[in-house]
Structure 1
Amino acid sequence: MNFPLPPQGRRNRVFPSSTPTLHGLASVITCVVVVCGLYFGRQVLIPITLSVMLSFLLAPLVMLLRRLHLGQFFSIFVAVLVTVFALAGVGALIAAQIVQLAADLPQYQEAIEQKVETVQEKTVGRADSLMTRAATALQRVTPTPPPAPPQPRGRAARNAPAVPMPVEVHTPAPTPMQLAQRALSPVVGPLETGFIVLVVTIFILLQREDLRDRLISVFGSDDLHRTTTAINDASQRLSRYFVAQLGVNVSVGAVIAIGLAGIGVPGALLFAAMAALLRFVPYIGIWIAAVSATILAAAIQPQWTMAVSTLILFIVVDVVAGQFAEPMLYGRRSGLSPLAVVVAAIFWSWLWGPIGLVLSTPLTLCIVTLGRYVDRLNFLTILLGDQPALTPAQTCYQRLLADDPHEALLQADRLLAGMPLIDYYEQVVLEGLRFARNDALRGVLPAEQLQRINQALLDIIEDLESVDDSRHLPPDEPGFEGGAAREAQGRAGEAPQPVLCVPGRGAFDEVVVAIVAQLLQRRGVPCATTSYEQVRSTRAGMVDPRSTHVICLVSLDTPEAPPYLRNLVRRLRERSAHARIIVGVGTLRREEGPVIVEDPGASLTATLHDLIDECAAGPVSEAKPAGFGN
């Protein structure tokens, strides 16, 4: 089959990319300045960020208390007090578990020593034996080294340089005050940060509405609707994420505590609290607690039963929480792609350490939400969000450009699981062909690539002939295979009239004709196809005026109404004066755009659905032809 190709005398023109502008340079400088500010200002920004995140977590509780008519200040006070007691309780529980575990470790000394010896025999012992054999073999082939030079005696020994005397420096014993400072310094810093976070959180909750108004005034007072929507979306999304994540983590900790206690692992509450807290760290958090508990279980028992049971418990609980509980609470999509979560964890942990690792997901979620409403930050949503970067039509065309028709066919199979075949052709294939048509008009597609794209599309269309659409449409629906034919037979008492499908001269019009012919055959309408060259060279000689009652003219050029299409309609009308001519795909109606020809016997269709329905209706349509007769 020959496809229309661009003129061979012209070279393909590839339009150069836009040159860097001052705006792009300013954006890069701004990003660098922001990152530097986040890094060098972390001592101030970390407490403020923790306060903002804590306010998002406490906001639903405060709103609930206010609905009980407790007052704003009292509601905030109760919410903060509950948070302090909860954190203090968790801290005391962890400390008690650590002390108890440290006190019980001597009881497991024999089992731990036996486990260490076994591991050394299996690993280090075998490695030492292998190295010993290698050293022995190396000594056999290595020549004997020369003897050492004799030691100097007499005057030579007296003239030899003196060996320096070793000197030892002893640090004086620390005073009680220094010991107290060393013991309290690791505690004073977190307590100070926690106190600042609580104070700032209280003020944020007290002035929540005022802060929202100030943010609206700073970032978008000109467009109040967009700014308000962005702030509400971010606050609701983060509040929902924190509350749901906290509920899931607490439930996971409770289940792990019960499971470890049943298995017999000491310090079950400690590892349960570790698992609940570390689950805020994406992907790897819970496995830190799992590895720690598994190592302890393997060390305190000579057998491996307890260790294997502990590891299975963590795996089962994490799979149930991640695959069932979390999707039920806040959907299967958190708004971030898996790669974005990993990259964000690395980035924020580099900036702010362990706290940045815990806050990486909510902070990145804020940035992605902001990018949905700020045009200049939309690239962040594309890079970090979980929405597809390309539309299905763009993806289809990209796969064809990459000479990967197999992947395009796999995409078709995935999409056809949720949409009818005609919708796939109209929303994916035809939209992708419009992108291809624009590139062909620009001259950036070589002739060989045009042929490959057309052939790949024809192969895909042929492969989709066996697609079953019955799961999408009821049996009596006209779109069901054979339904329109039965409907036409019942109405007219005879079989549907055959349709002649004629393509335009566009680069992809013959592919569109193949789509239309397939859809008509699935509707029980017989059809025949021809080519633009045959119709033009014989002045529509392929048209039999006695048997041709419906002519379907298909082209992607119809929205522009080029002169050749008008001439083609005129030739078809001259050959078959009484035939009904239907023009598509993508033709605008008369009141919306250009008209191909003033022919009262022709119908213009705006969509592929309309084109198939008009062709299946027969030579005389009960409806008024679209775009004519006004």
Structure 2
Amino acid sequence: MAEDTARRLQARPIPVPKAAPPASTQTTLLVIALVVATLYLGSDILVPIALAVLLTFVLAPIVSRLERLRLGRVPSVLAVVVLVFAGIAGFGMVVGGQIADLANNLPSYQKNVHDKLDSLRSRATSAGSGGVVQQATEAFRDLKQGLEQVTGDTPPTATAPASALPAPGAAREPVPVRIEQDGDALTIISDVLGPAMAPVATAGMVLVLTIFMLLQREDLRDRLIRLAGSGDLSRTTEAMNDAGERVSRYLLMQCVVNVTYGLPIGVGLWLIGVPNPLLWGLLSTVLRFIPFLGPAIAAAFPILLSFAVDGGWTLPLLCIALFVAVELFSNNVVEPWLYGSATGLSSLAIIVAAVFWTTLWGPVGLLLATPLTVCLVVLGRHVPQLHFLEVMLGDRPVLPDEAKLYQRLLARDPIEAMEIAEEKMSKGGLVEAGHGLLIPTLSLAEQDRQRNRLNPEGRQAVAEGMVALLDEMMESSPPAAEDTPLVLCIGARNDLDEAAAALLGHMLRPRGLRADVIPCEKVSVRSIAALAPTGVSAVVLSYLNPSALSHARRLVRRLRLHFGPNVPILLCLWSAHPEADAPEHAISQTSADRVATSLTGAVTQLEEMGVLAAVEAEKAPQA
């Protein structure tokens, strides 16, 4: 009986969960709007959670290392948290001591500040009649008096007219007196201590949440996987690993960058003589976690202090030069070297993310902008409905080179098209650029033409732009001699095929061949008689559509009747896969002598047909 039950269970099909239907665009936009509204309205709850998650990302590897040392989960978490918050408290004490020392020394800098302000004021007033500052002040004063006269307002210091004064001996109206009592002690305490207690309460919530997240991180991970989709564990696991790795790497690299920024600032300020260099170095290290605004705020304080300390202008100029030099070195050398693709965000995405999260959550949002946006990009990479997030915010190219070149040719922009082609050509020469960029670009245009998505004007723009691009790229190649073998490169069906034929012709000319590019109109039934039937060493037919074999068969028959059976015909099917059976099938269908599917293959076929060997034979007696 047990065997029958097992047999029935094996025969029963295992139910496979059906994939959820793709969400519509309206549903996706509605969900995004609801999420943004929830983030804004629930900021008081979500901000501590986000900070706790960020700290968990940072501290989880350290806790795991302590657990491997058999310290235990709870002692490891408590030790790491206590150590971190003790470090934060120590940092606060050091900064507080430096600020107190600075406050004690500020009165001694007051005379330098007054002297510089007097110097600036005297220079401003000495320039022109009355000075720029004085003229601006008088202009504003006149404008204010004019507005008061128009509105009927009388300045408080104006003298009242005599008619408005009370007559002598007249009874004056009593002035009402209102006695207000101060609030109770609880109201005063709440008004004074309320704003100061809010950050303390937030820090306490972050501390408690961080401890519980570190203690229960496996359980939280499993619950997140269950919510994200337990039916696709592979994709969910990959997304979580990707997000965790990117955020952790970003935070680690950010710490290294900040230290390499704050340390030279502190040492440099100490060398040039700015007071409290330890304070400014620490603030530069911490404030650089805030994108864009952090470095500016960190530089403003020591620059203002150098303005107050030095009686001249040497120290402020040295301080400004120090910050500019360290900032340029950090942005152009340290960050590209350390970051690389650590975040996967574009530069524009970082700016947009900073504005977005600051609008939602204030200064804390600015601090969390980059880690949160990294998670959004990872989500867009692994969730098809949110793929637009990766396209908008990611740093990976969204268009291949051939699509960019095709778009620039359609837009009739030869300058940027030339830049794309030169970049590709610099990596592998004309052969690599033709095989990996130019032929795929023409293939895209041919595919759009077959789908009726490319009008004749656009096709002409692409073809003419490609020919002009080839002429610009190969302008330094010398022309072949008149007595060298002649190869006719024929664009079989349209001007796109002619552009591909021109590309092959540019590759053959440096090899000593004369390559004439012939449009399809010259090999039609009525016009082919105008071509000279002699002096041709080979004929190359260029097709971007590999399925146009019936057209190729008729054209090959026509060319054989005109040039004779001794002239070899090479059929180039540029979009055919080289490893498929396209060459053999095309030869049997069209009766061509050889078939090539790439530029290098076309050159190889011409060598095997003896065309290039004839060139070498002609060069040998001359040598």
* Count of aligned residue pairs for this structure pair: 571
The reply to whether residue 295 of structure 1 matches residue 342 of structure 2 is: no
8 Å contact from structure 1 (residues 233, 369) kept in 2:
yes
How many angstroms does 1:262 deviate by? 2.2
Q: Which residue of 2 aligns with 1:414?
A: 423
Equivalent-residue separation in structure 1 for 2:137 and 2:44 (angstroms): 53
Q: 1:591 aligns with which of 567, 581, 588?
A: 581
Q: Which residue of 2 aligns with 1:610?
A: 601
Q: Secondary structure at the match of 1:221?
A: helix
How many angstroms does 1:184 deviate by? 4.4
How many angstroms does 1:231 deviate by? 1.1
- Return 211-220 or 439-448, whichever deviates more: 439-448
Equivalent-residue separation in structure 2 for 1:186 and 1:63 (angstroms): 37
CA 1:394–1:162: 2 relative to 1, 3 Å? farther
Q: Which residue of 2 aligns with 1:4?
A: none
Q: 1:505 aligns with which of 478, 493, 510?
A: 493
Equivalent-residue separation in structure 2 for 1:102 and 1:549 (angstroms): 92
Q: Which residue of 2 aligns with 1:438?
A: 447
How many angstroms does 1:136 deviate by? 11
Equivalent-residue separation in structure 2 for 1:445 and 1:430 (angstroms): 17
Q: Which residue of 1 aligns with 2:16?
A: none
- Unaligned stretches of 5+ in structure 1? 1-20, 139-144, 469-480, 486-494, 623-630
The reply to whether residue 532 of structure 1 matches residue 520 of structure 2 is: yes
Q: Which residue of 2 aligns with 1:387?
A: 396
Cα shift readout 1:44-95 (whole Å, capped 9, x = no counterpart) = 1111111111111123323433444444433333322221121111111121
Q: Secondary structure at the match of 1:551?
A: strand
Q: Which residue of 1 aligns with 2:354?
A: 345
Alignment of 1:338-377 (within 5 A): 338-377=347-386
Q: Which residue of 2 aligns with 1:142?
A: none
Q: Which residue of 1 aligns with 2:621?
A: none
How many angstroms does 1:235 deviate by? 0.4
CA 1:618–1:128: 2 relative to 1, 3 Å? same
Q: Which residue of 1 aligns with 2:319?
A: 310
Q: Which residue of 1 aligns with 2:201?
A: 192
Equivalent-residue separation in structure 2 for 1:380 and 1:465 (angstroms): 41
Alignment of 1:163-178 (within 5 A): 165=175, 172=182
Equivalent-residue separation in structure 2 for 1:77 and 1:611 (angstroms): 71
**Normalising by the residue count of structure 1, what TM-score does the alignment of the two structures yield?**
0.81
- Return 378-387 or 430-439, whichever deviates more: 430-439
How many angstroms does 1:288 deviate by? 1.0
Q: Which residue of 1 aligns with 2:506?
A: 518
The one-letter amino acid of 2:90's match is G
Q: Which residue of 1 aligns with 2:550?
A: 563
How many angstroms does 1:455 deviate by? 2.3
Q: Which residue of 2 aligns with 1:488?
A: none
CA 1:137–1:361: 2 relative to 1, 3 Å? closer
Q: Which residue of 1 aligns with 2:31?
A: 30
Equivalent-residue separation in structure 1 for 2:177 and 2:564 (angstroms): 115
Higher relative contact order (CA 8 A, sep 6+): 1
Q: Which residue of 2 aligns with 1:405?
A: 414
How many angstroms does 1:409 deviate by? 1.0
Q: Which residue of 2 aligns with 1:117?
A: 118
CA 1:546–1:358: 2 relative to 1, 3 Å? same
Q: Which residue of 1 aligns with 2:438?
A: 429
Alignment of 1:3-42 (within 5 A): 23-42=24-43
How many angstroms does 1:359 deviate by? 0.8
- Return 500-509 or 529-538, whichever deviates more: 529-538
Equivalent-residue separation in structure 2 for 1:602 and 1:160 (angstroms): 127
8 Å contact from structure 2 (residues 492, 541) kept in 1:
yes
More helix as a share of residues: 2
How many angstroms does 1:127 deviate by? 3.9
8 Å contact from structure 2 (residues 73, 215) kept in 1:
yes
CA 1:220–1:121: 2 relative to 1, 3 Å? farther
Equivalent-residue separation in structure 2 for 1:164 and 1:384 (angstroms): 70
The one-letter amino acid of 1:453's match is V
- Unaligned stretches of 5+ in structure 2? 1-21, 144-149, 151-158, 614-623
How many angstroms does 1:353 deviate by? 0.5
8 Å contact from structure 1 (residues 539, 571) kept in 2:
no
8 Å contact from structure 1 (residues 275, 289) kept in 2:
yes
Q: Which residue of 1 aligns with 2:258?
A: 249
How many angstroms does 1:542 deviate by? 6.9
The one-letter amino acid of 1:565's match is A
CA 1:254–1:499: 2 relative to 1, 3 Å? same
How many angstroms does 1:269 deviate by? 2.4
How many angstroms does 1:120 deviate by? 4.0
How many angstroms does 1:406 deviate by? 1.6
Identity %: 35
Equivalent-residue separation in structure 2 for 1:153 and 1:599 (angstroms): 113
8 Å contact from structure 2 (residues 486, 537) kept in 1:
yes
Q: Which residue of 1 aligns with 2:9?
A: none
Q: Which residue of 1 aligns with 2:55?
A: 54
Q: Which residue of 2 aligns with 1:577?
A: 565
8 Å contact from structure 1 (residues 94, 270) kept in 2:
yes
8 Å contact from structure 1 (residues 326, 332) kept in 2:
no
- Return 536-545 or 573-582, whichever deviates more: 536-545
8 Å contact from structure 1 (residues 565, 596) kept in 2:
no
8 Å contact from structure 2 (residues 257, 335) kept in 1:
yes
CA 1:182–1:132: 2 relative to 1, 3 Å? closer
How many angstroms does 1:451 deviate by? 3.2
Equivalent-residue separation in structure 2 for 1:467 and 1:159 (angstroms): 109
8 Å contact from structure 1 (residues 254, 272) kept in 2:
yes
How many angstroms does 1:126 deviate by? 3.4
Equivalent-residue separation in structure 1 for 2:226 and 2:183 (angstroms): 60
CA 1:621–1:457: 2 relative to 1, 3 Å? closer
CA 1:530–1:99: 2 relative to 1, 3 Å? same
Q: Which residue of 2 aligns with 1:283?
A: 292
How many angstroms does 1:180 deviate by? 5.9
Equivalent-residue separation in structure 2 for 1:173 and 1:111 (angstroms): 44
8 Å contact from structure 1 (residues 62, 79) kept in 2:
yes
8 Å contact from structure 1 (residues 371, 378) kept in 2:
yes
8 Å contact from structure 1 (residues 498, 528) kept in 2:
yes
Q: Secondary structure at the match of 2:311?
A: coil
The one-letter amino acid of 1:366's match is C
8 Å contact from structure 1 (residues 588, 604) kept in 2:
no
CA 1:332–1:222: 2 relative to 1, 3 Å? closer
Q: Secondary structure at the match of 1:553?
A: strand
Equivalent-residue separation in structure 1 for 2:140 and 2:200 (angstroms): 56
8 Å contact from structure 1 (residues 520, 616) kept in 2:
no
**Normalising by the residue count of structure 2, what TM-score does the alignment of the two structures yield?**
0.81
Alignment of 1:26-175 (within 5 A): 26-122=27-123, 126-131=131-136, 151-152=162-163, 165=175, 172=182
- Return 436-445 or 602-611, whichever deviates more: 436-445
Equivalent-residue separation in structure 2 for 1:440 and 1:261 (angstroms): 69
CA 1:464–1:297: 2 relative to 1, 3 Å? same
Equivalent-residue separation in structure 2 for 1:170 and 1:123 (angstroms): 49
The one-letter amino acid of 1:618's match is M
8 Å contact from structure 1 (residues 279, 286) kept in 2:
yes
Alignment of 1:455-474 (within 5 A): 455-466=464-475
The one-letter amino acid of 2:273's match is G
Cα shift readout 1:6-53 (whole Å, capped 9, x = no counterpart) = xxxxxxxxxxxxxxx982211111111000000011111111111111
The reply to whether residue 221 of structure 1 matches residue 230 of structure 2 is: yes
The one-letter amino acid of 1:602's match is D
Equivalent-residue separation in structure 1 for 2:374 and 2:112 (angstroms): 47
CA 1:303–1:552: 2 relative to 1, 3 Å? same
Equivalent-residue separation in structure 2 for 1:596 and 1:236 (angstroms): 53
8 Å contact from structure 2 (residues 556, 591) kept in 1:
no
Equivalent-residue separation in structure 1 for 2:418 and 2:89 (angstroms): 58
How many angstroms does 1:596 deviate by? 6.8
The one-letter amino acid of 1:204's match is M
